[in-house]
Chains A and B, each alone.
Chain A
């Protein structure tokens, strides 16, 4: 069955290099014993050990042995191939060898770091080395295939991260598609009044960037749109974008607002999503005055014309450019891009889940995002902090960590809440003169100028109380508590339970992954962490890459982060995308399937099984044909082939059989 005989490229000369990794491996694995063992394995000509194989002198050891003709195949026993396979393949090539005559034995992540007993660890290390040696004897020299890269880039999500990534890419001359689900870009940042710690006006720094996106000749902005399908691979993605009908022609609408004034609803009647429900909007609306694009949208759920078909359509009557189009339908756009930046952001924690804080029960319990709208000069109250009864609060309580650092909701720290709570404390104090009570667990202010901001705010009329609030209740026990919301908490610095009566409670809600994160990650074929944040390729060394080449992450979709971090990450993701596009080509792993025509019986099992339609059938020759550019190298067809005619480079049946033999039959 074997297509490749050992020695078909001359007798293999295998070099085994065992790494100490400082003491990471050597403290659990007897290195010299392992090296002696390796020397006795078939076709091994050289076995050496070194402190750090990945270092320059370590790589030089390999290269020297290749140059001197001592070895032509290399096994490095060190860390995970996901860590350093790339490094050592490069070293092989630099030494004049073929980078694919290389195999790693993972004796760090899979052995020394997870095993207590030194004897057992040494034994397991030997088994993994034997497995690698067994299979490397069969490896064939391979070449990477070069594929050209499409120069355009897709950015998904039009919050501050997506905006910054799109602008960076567009400024470098790339054509960018920016796809945003909402009718306007801007994301969460557009809802804020001020940003910490500088108290920059959010709109002042964001809206210029939004209009830059709208006006940029290199950016195609598709709002009210969603990516529904992604095919292809790095450098050559084929993407389908669904453009939802907004019933207003984007090309014609000039944003004059006449249609909104003319709507048969005299007043707003429906929940204004942009104001977190604190104001009402009409069925035809523009989310906020700086919306980009400045184009109205009709909500068919509330529009009389869509509900009954009997509206007099006064909006259409007054629209001079005749932009209103009730017949508009959903459109699917197909685009090709070389790289993708995902900046799909976050949602805030649903405060109603912590019922003891009374959100949804007591009208004067607000979420922090609602308060952001209240303090915003462009918000529902024009920046005046007014309760639902129209009065100014005289005392306000802020609760940190609602939906964060809590085993009942989310165990992680949402990172931004301490800082925005301090900001809101400052703004509320400034706008109302109220007494502010700020309940925190730990005050976390790690950032440039953050601790200084805390220091500054702590000198204002704000009471900081260290303790998690037990409950918010309207049950008065003292006369001064009547008609108030009472916050009950243990002051852990004072060592006493306190009851603090206030007029308004602010819940500093944490950050959570978007609701449809599962769906989105499947579309883009990337992973999620346990909590649902998009998983980066490496937490330290590849923080904006994903396990799918060519798909990069920016902003809070990867984990809670503030504006400076989101922008920094967006810049990083943009430059990673540029690196792919500017090189102009990608090299594909050669681990693709290939067919041994003589063995193919023409059963076509593989044709239907391939998820990438990479296998077709040659009716003349009656054999299956693999398209190497479409094959992604999963090997599913290889396992399914009943006659062993399909094989996978780097994972042939024989290579795996030998690896199995090596891993169990020596030690």
Chain B
């Protein structure tokens, strides 16, 4: 399947998730073990703590082609490192404002507290988020230098070559 063909198909968003190792990533593993099927649009980047989430990661994800970003951490008070999730919450609040000023819809960024035992919540959030971003349509950033990445490459090979070029810039 080339991405060219894919572009003729209905829009399927790409969503990047940042999940903390101890709660939400474990919950996503649990959802897997329990075979809780959910939308395939969300791709998880594991970090040790949601407190590791640099706001730049969210911006980078949007720049690199994500249509949405999901942040998952332990419930308040449950952080494996005591309080990292509170910092994540602060950064999330700040990011929301920043994204708004950049013309990026609020619904494209979501923060969820998901405990290690809440596999069903992972399933629910993954499906909800995918649905919400699918309804918003593809992310449209103001035309800038990122166009190179945003442009739909013709084939997968080209995509790889393109990414390599960007990579070595």
Contacts and interface: CB of A to CB of B under 8 A. Distances in A.
Interface in B64-106: 64-66, 77-78, 80-84, 87, 91
A611 B40 contact: no
A88 to B, nearest CB: 15
A635 B157 contact: no
Contacts of B118: 530
A632 interface: yes
A110 B156 contact: no
Given A634-B84, A659-B45, A529 B117 contact: yes
B29 A115 contact: no
B45 to A, nearest CB: 5
B60 A660 contact: yes
A347 B1 CA distance: 58
Contacts of A114: 31-32, 35-38, 40, 123
Interface stretch (A447-455, A457-465, A508-516, A648-656): A648-656
Contacts of A127: 14, 43
A108 interface: yes
Contacts of B157: 40
B46 to A, nearest CB: 7
B44 to A, nearest CB: 6
Contacts of A639: 51-55, 87, 91
B152 to A, nearest CB: 12
B3 interface: yes
Interface stretch (A118-126, A287-295, A396-404): A118-126
B162 to A, nearest CB: 8
Contacts of B115: 527
Contact of A522 (B77, B81, B116): B77
Contacts of B77: 522
Interface string B128-166: 000000000000000000000100000011011001101
A115 B37 contact: yes
Given A113-B33, A525-B80, A634-B84, A661 B163 contact: yes
A633 interface: yes
A528 interface: yes
Interface residues of A, number: 62
B41 to A, nearest CB: 8
A121 B41 CA distance: 10
Interface string B17-43: 000011101101101110111101001
B33 A660 contact: no
B45 A110 contact: no
A116 interface: yes
A131 B32 contact: no
A611 B52 CA distance: 13
Nearest to A83: B29
Interface residues of B, number: 61
B46 A41 contact: no
Contacts of B54: 638-639, 653, 656
A30 B46 CA distance: 24
Contacts of A113: 32-33, 35
Contacts of A81: 46
Contacts of B55: 639
B78 to A, nearest CB: 7
A530 B57 CA distance: 31
Contacts of A42: 164, 167
Interface string B48-63: 1101111111001100
Contacts of A663: 16, 43, 45
Contacts of A667: 3, 156, 159
Nearest to A127: B43
A609 B57 contact: no
Contact of B81 (A108, A109, A636): A636
A251 to B, nearest CB: 38
Contacts of A115: 37, 40
Contacts of B36: 114
Nearest to B53: A639
30 contacts: A108-B32, A109-B28, A111-B40, A114-B31, A119-B1, A124-B40, A522-B77, A525-B80, A527-B115, A535-B117, A548-B80, A591-B48, A635-B84, A636-B81, A636-B83, A636-B84, A638-B54, A639-B51, A639-B52, A648-B48, A648-B52, A651-B48, A656-B45, A659-B45, A660-B61, A663-B43, A666-B160, A667-B3, A667-B156, A667-B159
Interface of A: 37, 40-42, 80-83, 106, 108-111, 113-117, 119-121, 123-124, 127-128, 131, 134, 522, 525, 527-530, 535, 547-548, 591, 609, 611-612, 632-636, 638-640, 648, 651, 653, 656-661, 663-667
Interface of B: 1, 3, 14, 16, 21-23, 25-26, 28-29, 31-33, 35-38, 40, 43-49, 51-57, 60-61, 64-66, 77-78, 80-84, 87, 91, 115-118, 123, 149, 156-157, 159-160, 163-164, 166-167
Kindly list the 3 A-B residue pairs having the minimum CB-CB distance in the complex, ordered from nearest. Answer: A109-B32, A635-B52, A636-B51
